[in-house]
Amino acid sequence: MSRLESKVAFITGAARGQGRSHAVRLAAEGADIVGIDICRQLDSVNYAMSTPDDLAETVRQVESRGGRMLGIEADVRDLDGMHAAVARGLREFGRLDIVLANAGVMTQSLPPHEKSRDAWRDGIDVLLTGVWHTLQATYQPLIDGARGGSIVITSSSQGLRPFFSDLSGGFDSYAAAKAGVIGLMRSYAATLAEWNIRVNSIHPTGVNTPMVVNEFFGEYMEKSNPKTAARVVNALPVELVEPIDVSEAVLYLVCESGRYVTGTCLPVDAGLVFAG
């Protein structure tokens, strides 16, 4: 029997990158997927964001492996929209067991940082408020299901040990939000434990996704202070991990293997945090 047979997972940022990998991996273990993504561009983001076609491709990949997926265009910054997306998922599949608060962006601006205020606002709205919205929209259905459950929040190695600031709203918002969601994780872990709902966070190093592998980010790092670049070198001899590496950590947390793991920060960082 598959490890997630009959389970339903709600995944934010599911159109591509880590979210797509999580959806496909959990579906391979028998889970039905409700996947949401904004599927449009934010002005403060300097790389191409996901599209409706990307979300459709995630659905196709899940279905090609025999799984079922409901893809919904929704914005984690919109609490009412999040409640509506969860309600659609419940109507479609009848239950909720797993929540992956994965949606993320990297808002950036090159000097003179003309987009700094917008980058701060959008970064906090997506990476921190968006996680809170995800928790708010899902905790009651998990409680009502009376079957326990698992919530995994995607933080970052930057949440465990901030490595630098470029003194602008982009990386500042990323560092603040990725640290902030640890507080949310621990608070919800403590509160939801009585219903056997576990809450954890994962902390990847750089992952081979369009958020990191793009022309703008490459240019940005080239123009960074060499001391800054030196702080973000993994201990293990790998520049980037793959999305599947993070998905396998998620799978451990949401399956029976992680049944007694809650309130925990799980690095998938190739040793970046201790080596940085």
At 146-205, the pLDDT tens digits run 999 999 999 999 999 988 787 888 889 999 999 999 999 999 999 999 999 999 999 999
What is the tens place of the pLDDT at every residue in 178-189?
A: 999 999 999 999
In whole angstroms, what is the distance from residue 265 CA to residue 157 CA? 10
User: What is the C-alpha to C-alpha distance for residues 93 and 85, in angstroms, rounded to an integer?
Assistant: 12
Domains of the chain: 8-267 (3.40.50.720)
Distance CA 144, CA 141 (A): 5
User: Which tens digit of pLDDT belongs to each residue from 76-93?
Assistant: 999 999 999 999 999 999
Question: How many CA atoms within 13 Å lie on the side-chain side of 7?
Answer: 27
pLDDT score recorded for residue 231: 73
Q: Model-level pTM greater than 0.85?
A: yes
Q: Would you name the residues annotated as active-site residues?
A: 174
